[in-house]
Amino acid sequence: MPRPRCPRRICYRPDVMYFKPRGVSMSELEEILVEEDEIEALRLSDVDGLDQTSAAKRMKISQPTFARILASARNKLASAIVNGSAIRLGDSSKEKVSN
């Protein structure tokens, strides 16, 4: 049985929940979920320009965990762009810590 996930600090929630290729209906598209912690990792690293150690401290997680989350997010986004999939942002069904 895997270890339970620790709560992560999420400071940003996007207003937009979906991105999809233009001219293709949602029923025809595969959907890729980018979770809230992955969005936060992308924001801290790529938008705010923080190094992984500083970003991990802001999310209250270890640097290796941050690196895994960031790699997962980048992989999902690249896959969605290359394969023409819809991107769903966030997952409110999981418990997160806001601040």
Report if residue 13 sits inside a domain.
Answer: no
For range 15-33, the mean pLDDT:
88
Q: For residue 94, name the pLDDT band (cuts at 50, 70, 90).
A: very low
Q: For residue 91, name the pLDDT band (cuts at 50, 70, 90).
A: low
Report if residue 20 sits inside a domain.
Answer: no
Cross-strand partners of 89: 34
Report if residue 1 sits inside a domain.
Answer: no
Report if residue 2 sits inside a domain.
Answer: no
- Residue 52 near residue 46 (C-beta atoms within 8 A): no
Residue at token pair 């293709």: 24
Number of domains in the chain: 1
CATH number, residue 52: 1.10.10
Predicted local distance difference test score (pLDDT) of residue 34? 93
- Residue 79 near residue 40 (C-beta atoms within 8 A): no
Q: For residue 11, name the pLDDT band (cuts at 50, 70, 90).
A: low
Q: How far apart are the first and last CA of the chain?
A: 30
Report if residue 3 sits inside a domain.
Answer: no
Predicted local distance difference test score (pLDDT) of residue 90? 82
The 10s digit of each residue's pLDDT in 44-88 is 999 999 999 999 999 999 999 999 999 999 999 999 999 999 999
- The secondary structure of residue 23, as a DSSP letter, is T
| Of 34, 37, 16, 26, nearest in space to 79 by CA | 34
